Amino acid sequence: MTPASTLAARFRARLRALGIAPDDALVVAVSGGADSVALLHLLRFAVDGPPERLVVAHFDHRMRVESAADAAWVRGLARAWGLRAVQGAAEQVPGGEAEARTARWRFLEATRVDAGARAVVTGHHRDDQVETVLHHLARGSGLRGRSGIRPWQGTRLRPLLDEPRAELRAWARAVGLGWRADPTNALPLGPRNRIRNELLPLLEDIRPGAARAIARSAELAAADETALAEAERLLLEPLVRSREAGRVEVDLPRLRAFPEALSSRLLRRLSREVGGRLDRAGTRAALAFTLGGPGGAESRLPSGVVLRRSQESLEVEGPRLPERPADRSLRVTDPFVRGSAAVVVGGERWSVHWGAEVPDGGEVVQLAHDPGAPGFRVRGWREGDHLDGRPLSRLWSEAGVPLYRRLRRPVVEDAAGRLLWVPGSALSHTARDRGGPLYRIGITHVDES
Ligand SMILES: Nc1ncnc2c1ncn2[C@@H]1O[C@H](COP(=O)(O)OP(=O)(O)OP(=O)(O)O)[C@@H](O)[C@H]1O
C-alpha cells in the first residue's frame, strides 16, 4: 500500500471506530489550511458516502487582510468538489483569539443545527493535541486539562487527532492538494505558536518521540478522568439523602470519612451538579467547612454555591440566578387612540406611549400609518431582522452595538412585519415616506430588571 492509501484506510477505520457511518450528515469546518483541506478530501473521496451529506463551513474572522480571499478560495474548493458551502463572518473584528473562536463555534454549531448534521468535523491533529496539553500543563491544569482534546466531544468530531501534522502534510502533497497558507502561524506571536515552533522541536531534539509520548500521556489522562468520574458517581450516590433541582443533601459523616483529596473531588462534583463551579480556593474553603472548620452552619462560596451543615448532613445549594421577567411585546392596531403600555425585552423594561401626547424623556418619532398594515407592534430584536432591506445586524455592527445589548433592545414593526423603527438606532424610510397620516410614538427605557 502507498502512504496515501494507508492514511485513507486509517481514516476510514477511525471514523468507524468513532461510530460514524459513511452516509452520516456532517458539517466540515474548513479554514482553507492544509489540515482541514486534507480532512475534507478524505471525507469526500476516501469515504464511500453521498456528497450531499457533507456541508463545508468556513468562518471569516476578519482578522487578516487575506481573510476574504481565503473565504472565496474555500467556496471555490467546495464547488470544484461538488459540495455545498456555508459561509459566516464576524460582525465585528474580534478582540483576540478567544473571541474569534467563540464567534466561529457559534456559527459552526448553528450551521450544524440548520443542516441537521450529526457533528461538526475539524482538522485537529496530533500536534494540536500535544500543543494543547503543553499549554495546559504550563498553566497548572489538573487531570482534565492534561487529557487535552477528545476525538468526540459533544457534537465536535476530530477524526485526525492521532495523525502527526508532518504525515498529513506529506499525504496532502502526495495527493496534489492545494491550500491557503496562514503566515501568522510561523510568527513567534502567542504562546501556542511558540510552543509549536520553538518548544516542540526542542523537546523532540532532547528526546526523539516526545510528541508521540505526550499524546499518549494525554490519552492515559483521558482514560483516568473517565474512570475517576465513574468512581465518583459510585461513591457519591449512596451518600445522597435527598435531591431536587439546584440542591443536594448528603450524609456528612460519610463524606468526611473519605481521604481529603477524594472529598474535594466529590464537593466539586456536587457543586457542578447544582450549577456552580469551584475553583481551587473555593474547593479549599468548601473542604475546610465540610471538615468542621470555623464558621456557623452556613458557608457562602464565591461561586454562589451555599453549603449548610448539621451533625448529620451537608446541603449543597446552587447559585440563585436573578429571575428575569419573560419578554412581553405589545400590539396596537389603532395608534391614534392615545395609550401607553410596558414591554419587556431581554429582562429590560421599556414604556411605550402613543397618540397625541407623549411624556418627555425617551425617544419620540412620527410614523406613517398604513391602513393595509395598521398600527404597530413592539417586540425584541430577532436574528434576520431587516430595516429598509439591510440586515439590522449589519447596522448594529457598524454602530458597535454588541450582541448582549441587541438582545435587550426593542424594535417597532407594522402589522405586515416590516420594521419601522429601531429606537436608538434608525428610522426606516417606509415609516417616514409612505404618505399615510402620521402618529407619534415614544419609547422610554424604564429599568433593568
Ligand atoms: N476560519 C475557520 N473556518 C472554519 N473552520 C475553521 C476555521 N479555523 C479553524 N477551523 C477548524 O478548526 C480546526 C483547528 O484550527 P486551529 O488549530 O486554527 O483552531 P484552534 O482555535 O486552535 O482550535 P479550537 O477550535 O479547538 O479552538 C481546523 O482544522 C478547522 O477544521
Average pLDDT rounded to a whole number, residues 83-100 = 88
Task: Please give the average per-residue pLDDT across 143-171, as a whole number.
Answer: 94
* Three-class secondary structure assignment of the chain: CCHHHHHHHHHHHHHHHCCCCCCCCEEEECCCCHHHHHHHHHHHHHCCCCHHHEEEEEEECCCCCCHHHHHHHHHHHHHHCCCEEEEEECCCCCCCHHHHHHHHHHHHHHHHHHHCCCEEECCCCHHHHHHHHHHHHHCCCCHHHHCCCCCEECCEECCCCCCCHHHHHHHHHHHCCCCCCCHHHHCCCCHHHHHHHHHHHHHHHHCCCHHHHHHHHHHHHHHHHHHHHHHHHHHHHHHEEEEECCEEEEEHHHHHCCCHHHHHHHHHHHHHHCCCCCCHHHHHHHHHHHCCCCCCCEEECCCCCEEEECCCEEEEECCCCCCCCCCECEEECCCCCCEEEEEEECCEEEEEEECCCCCCCCEEEEEECCCCCCCEEEEECCCCCEECCEEHHHHHHHHCCCHHHHCCCEEEECCCCCEEEECCCEECHHHHHCCCCEEEEEEEEEEEC
Q: Which atom of ligand 1 is nearest to the CA of 128?
A: 17
Q: Which atom of ligand 1 is nearest to the CA of 105?
A: 25
Q: Which of 99-113, 191-205, 223-237, 315-329 has the lowest mean pLDDT?
A: 315-329
**Domains (ranges, CATH) in the chain?**
3-222 (3.40.50.620), 245-317 (3.30.465), 330-448 (no CATH)
pLDDT tens track for 344-374: 988 888 889 887 666 666 788 888 888 888 8
ipTM of this model? Answer: 0.95
Task: Work out which ligand 1 atom sits closest to the CA atom of 192.
Answer: 22
- Name residue, grid cell 457519591: 236
**pLDDT above 50 (res 449):** no
Query: Is the pLDDT higher at 185 or at 124?
Result: 124
Predicted pLDDT at 184: 73
- The CA distance from 269 to 277, in Å, is 9
- Atom number of ligand 1 nearest to Cα 121: 31
Which pLDDT does position 253 carry in this prediction?
94
Residues that constitute the known binding site: 31-36
> What does the pLDDT read at residue 1?
56
- pLDDT for res 270: 94
Q: pLDDT, tens digit, for every residue of 40-58?
A: 999 999 999 999 999 999 9
Distance 122 CA to ligand 1 centre (A): 7
Q: What is the mean pLDDT of residues 321-328?
A: 72
User: For atom 14 of ligand 1, which residue has the closest CA?
Assistant: 124
Task: Name the residue of 28, 63, 122 to mutate for ligand 1: max ligand atoms within 8 A of Cβ.
Answer: 122
Residue 393 confidence (pLDDT): 80
Nearest residue by C-alpha to atom 24 in ligand 1: 101
pLDDT, average across residues 150-161: 94
Going from the Cα of 296 to the center of ligand 1, the distance in angstroms, rounded, reads 49
pLDDT top residue among 302 and 129: 129
User: pLDDT averaged over the chain?
Assistant: 89
Q: Please give all residues whose beta carbon lies within 6 A of any atom in ligand 1, as ranges.
A: 29-31, 35-36, 57-59, 61, 101, 104, 122-124, 128
Determine the average pLDDT of the residues in 431-444.
84
Mean pLDDT comparison of 196-210, 288-302, 334-348, highest-scoring range: 196-210
Q: How far is the CA of 99 from the centre of ligand 1 (A)?
A: 13
Query: Is residue 323's pLDDT more than 70?
Result: no
Q: Which atom of ligand 1 is nearest to the CA of 125?
A: 29
Choose the residue to mutate in 41, 43, 73, 104 for probing ligand 1, maximizing ligand atoms within 8 Å of C-beta: 104
Mutate-to-test residue for ligand 1 from 124, 149, 156, 197, highest number of ligand atoms within 8 A of CB: 124
Read off the pLDDT of each residue in 209-232 and give the average, rounded to a whole number. 95
Residue 400 has pLDDT above 80, yes or no: no
